[in-house]
Structure formats: structure tokens, C-alpha cells
Structure 1
């Protein structure tokens, strides 16, 4: 039985080709993708294409585009066995994280991929990423999808979407999942690490929850900075602080007074680490106890991209009962490691 895959093209380098008169990269008509990659016809799946009316650079992708992609998946969920989203690389981890929270009860593969070089380039990585992305998006065993979550496939590796970050603007191997194992790897054989795959609870039906709030602010702490201007910023509903190591910040009384004032104004504070690997552990060092005292929320070992999009999805979302802090502490889609849940 041939599986049906919906290929959703949003924009990005993978859909570009060089204008040899000007030397500039320009989008090509994506309905011609089959002539660009004739090998697609050799894969044991039927591919349909849905392209954004105007392809956009991934730096312009945000909540409205996340909703558009989620809507495409929702309205076509019953008609396709899997979904492959072609996306620019710069914000792909944000989109993958956002979709992981928006798509509840997912039991089909949603794979994102892109490329560092355009599809017409002689040394392009686009063809391998697209073709193997299709394989993963159509991979079934015993009439059940092997991948049932939002994942990124890039340069031979399949990674959980809400655990990824882009760490290189130059190398083909552009993405890492520092706090979670690789879900699969493409070599001579298509490998899947089934023990690491996410499964939605059986009692949760598939739905697309489009709620996204923009009342979230992200700030990276650095040595010598002053927090005075925090109290001058118009009230934000969630402040995500990216702090040192396992959760430390400069420990002056003024720091605590400032952060407490923000909390007293009703702002939730989420704490994530600046380290690529590892996570937050309140109480490990004295300089992290300030966050316990003010009632901040641990971001565990989540990526910044995942923490930001999770906060945007949960904030003021009427589809969740309980407080923001209670819901943020839940491991909703495998976005943090339970072993670090303190």
C-alpha cells in the first residue's frame, strides 16, 4: 500500500535556484519540484504539494505561519499518512517546537527539513534531506506510523523537533539535539531508535490548538548587566531568563528586589540555561536559590526555542485547566528530561 504524504513548502533555501544573470537566489515554481528531483517518483509513496502562496524567508516565519501550517495539517489529517514541511533553516527549531505543542494527540509523522544550499546547486544537501524526509514521513509498520511526533530531519539525522537548535550557519550538519538522543539515522539502512520515540496518551484525540500568545519576553543574562530597565518595561505576562550554568545569576539584594517586583506585578518568570547541554537545577548552587525564593519556574533542560514557544502556547490558553506554572511544569511532548524534573 502506497502511503500518501503532503509536502508543505513554506520557503527557504531549499526552494531556491540561482538566477545566472544576476547571481541572486530566487524562488522557483514549487509545482515543478518533481522535475527538479525526479527521484521522488521512485519512493513508495504518493506526494502532493501544498505551497505557501508567497514563499517566505524563515526569519519572517512566526505565529501566523505556524497557524497556517497547523491548519494545513488539521484539514488534511484524515487524507494523508504523513506530512513533510520544507522550511528555512534559521527558525526551523522554533516552528518545530511550536507545532509540537499545537498538534495534540498526533499519531502521524510531521517532519521538517530544509537545506544549506539551494536545490539547483551542484553540491546541494537539499535532495538528500528532502528524499529521506519523505521516507520518514511515509514510514509505517503494521499499519501504524513509526514516527508519531514533530521531528526535524537534517544531514542524516532525525531529531525530536522541540529538542533541537541550529548550531551552524555553515556546515551541512546544522542541527543538534544536545539533551536528547537521535531518533533515527540515515545510512545504508534507514535506522529508527524506537525506544526514544514519543507517543501521545491513547485517550487524547488529534486536534490542532491554534492558541499562541505574544506576551512573552526572552532575555539573556550577562555579567555586569543592570536589571533596572526590567521594571521600566511595560508589563509582560511571561519573562524567560536565560541564565548561567545550572541556574545561577548575580546574587545582589538589588537583583532579588528587582525580580521580586516583576513577580509581584503578576509576571511569570521561566529560567533556562545558556549552556547547550544540561539544564536548570535550583538549589545546586546558592546563587540559584533566588529563583526558588521568588517562585520562578524551572525550564529544566529545554532549549530556548522550546521554552519560548511552549510559553507562547500555554499563556492564557483556555484549552488548559490549571495555572500557567502548573502547565509549564508538565512534560507535554517530551520537551524536557524527566530526570532533571526537580
Structure 2
């Protein structure tokens, strides 16, 4: 093996990209990823060396949970010094959650971790799997002066590379399944692979990689809607061991001004539950106090999620709760951009 070439590790967790169709029965089945180069010989044309590792029992991404996030992080940590980049093959349904979680778990990351998947199985005639995989490997192997150009967790799908914790799945049928509503693409793949270097994350690479495995998922997500009742919200807040609530509000962070609602939130904040305000809108940011309907939230100490996605809001809360920091530090830290997840 030519050691002068970048070494890329493919990590297969499961999902459509790792399936192949039995054309007699029409049934999808997983193929052995050790034979990947046989299935996609084009990968051998890339100027890098590729090795593969797979979950012992690959999962549908609908079954993804923090335990598997830790498993992915451990694979990266174990192989970190031996490889120049990592490509994680993942089902698309929860890919933005996993990419967001890994961005927080991998502190001082100085190498690319590229998530990708597909809408159609790798063996289908019209599959998007080959292009997504080939370009993801190419992105992960990009170097300048023998050092990686990308130094963050990202997501590649349908000709676009995004910051992982800025993405959300937009479409269950189109090949262009993901979007990054509040942040520019990191790269666009066309005739040439154009990297938008000014948008790349630049970590403190002088510090060694830290892998954070303590995630606390004692959180809830409440999406407001006109007519939501006190009993519904109260039932969520009465969940045992609840530590944080992500509140999806209207527009720029607005909500009902009914006294029962504000009083209930204030009571729970006083009891130690962190409440994070994010917008239901696809694009834009929470600006508490900008409108009268959000002044009350600001006064009682609700945390501003600014322009964070729901996926990043949830995983950031899990990560910070796992750090076991004080209530005051939780609010100030949450409102800071840690991995480029908010503006």
C-alpha cells in the first residue's frame, strides 16, 4: 500500500446505501462491505487508500440512538492517528442528528468526518449512492501541504457538502434530500469540486482530539401550535428526570402570552429545567425581545437557540447536560457557537 496517499476509513452503520437488490425477488439485502471496491471499482481511481469497517449488526437509521453515536466516535478515536479522513455511511432519516451529535462529541477535530448515504440502494440502476460515496471519499482525502483541508463533521449529499450540524432532511423522495437553511455549502461538486474555504470551520488543532461520550437524553421537544393546551405542556414537564426542553416557537421566537404558559415555564426554569427557544421556521433566527410576544421568555431566562436546527439543538443539549455544568454556565455556553452550529 502506498503510504504517501491519504488513508480514508469508511464506517458503515447501516442504511439504504449499503443495500443491494436481489433482482429475482426484488428484496433488499445488505452486502459485505469488504467487497466494496468490487461493487464500486471507480473508487480505485481516487488518489487515496481506502479501508472499511462495519457495525457488527448494521441498523436502520430509524433505530439510531446515543449508544450508536458513542460507537461511531469510538471507531474514529481508535483509528484517528492511522487515517487522514473518515466517511460514515448512514441512513438518511436520522443522518443530521448523528452528524450534529458527532460534531459536539469530537472536540478539537482536525480531520474530516463526512457523513453520506443515499435514497436508492447501491445496486439500483438509477442509484445516487455511487456519486455520494465517491465524492465523499474525495472530499475526505482533500489535502494541502499533507494536511486535511476539511477539519470538521460534515454531510455530503447530491453534489453539496454541508456542515453537519447545520443540516436537516428536507425530502423523503428527491435525491436532493438535505438542506442547510442558515449556512452556506462548504463545497459544491460539479465539473470541478469547488471548496468554499471561507466557510470552513477552523478548530484549535494544537489541542489533541477529545471524545466526549457522556450524553444525557433526558430532554423533550415541544412544538407549539395555536390551541396547544396547558395539560399537554404540563404533562411533558412532569416527565421524570427531565433536564431540558427544546421549545419550537413561531417566527423569530414568539409564543402565546397567556399567563398560564409563561408562569409554567418560569416555574420549571426555577426548578432547574433548561428551556431552549428555537424557531419552527426552516430559515431565520430566534430574536427574543424583538417582538412583544417573546419579551416574557427573555425575562424568565429562556435560552436562545438563535438559528440552530432542531437536530443540533437536541444533540447540543444532550452533550452539554453530559458535561454536568452549572445552570448559569449551561445557558451562557449553549448560547455560544461551539462547533459552528449557530451564527
Q: Are 1:116 and 2:122 matched, yes or no?
A: no
Counterparts in 2 of 1:316 and 1:187: CA distance versus 1, 3 Å: closer
1:153 to 141, 152, 156: 156
What is aligned with 1:326?
332
Q: Are 1:317 and 2:323 matched, yes or no?
A: yes
Cα distance, 1:305 vs. partner? 0.1
**Structural RMSD (CA):** 1.4
**1: distance between equivalents of 2:300 and 2:230?**
15
What is aligned with 1:85?
88
Report SS of the residue matched to 1:323: helix
Q: Are 1:270 and 2:273 matched, yes or no?
A: no
Measured against aligned partners, the alpha-carbon deviations of 1:262-297 in whole angstroms (never above 9, x if no partner) come to 222211100100000001001111001121121000
Is the 2:247–2:275 contact (alpha carbons within 8 Å) kept by the matching residues of 1? Answer: yes
Gaps of 5+ in 1: 338-342
What is aligned with 2:301?
295
Is the 1:117–1:126 contact (alpha carbons within 8 Å) kept by the matching residues of 2? Answer: yes
1:306 to 292, 297, 312: 312
Gaps of 5+ in 2: none
Q: Are 1:68 and 2:74 matched, yes or no?
A: no
What is aligned with 1:340?
none
Report SS of the residue matched to 2:114: strand
**2: distance between equivalents of 1:63 and 1:204?**
25
Deviates more, 1:215-224 or 1:204-213: 204-213
**2: distance between equivalents of 1:316 and 1:21?**
49
Is the 2:155–2:161 contact (alpha carbons within 8 Å) kept by the matching residues of 1? Answer: yes
**2: distance between equivalents of 1:285 and 1:15?**
48
1:253 to 259, 265, 275: 259
For these two proteins, the number of residue pairs brought into alignment is 337
Deviates more, 1:321-330 or 1:153-162: 321-330
Report SS of the residue matched to 2:51: strand
- TM-score, with structure 2 as normaliser: 0.95
Report SS of the residue matched to 2:162: strand
- TM-score, with structure 1 as normaliser: 0.96
**Deviating runs (4+, > 4 A) in structure 1?**
318-322
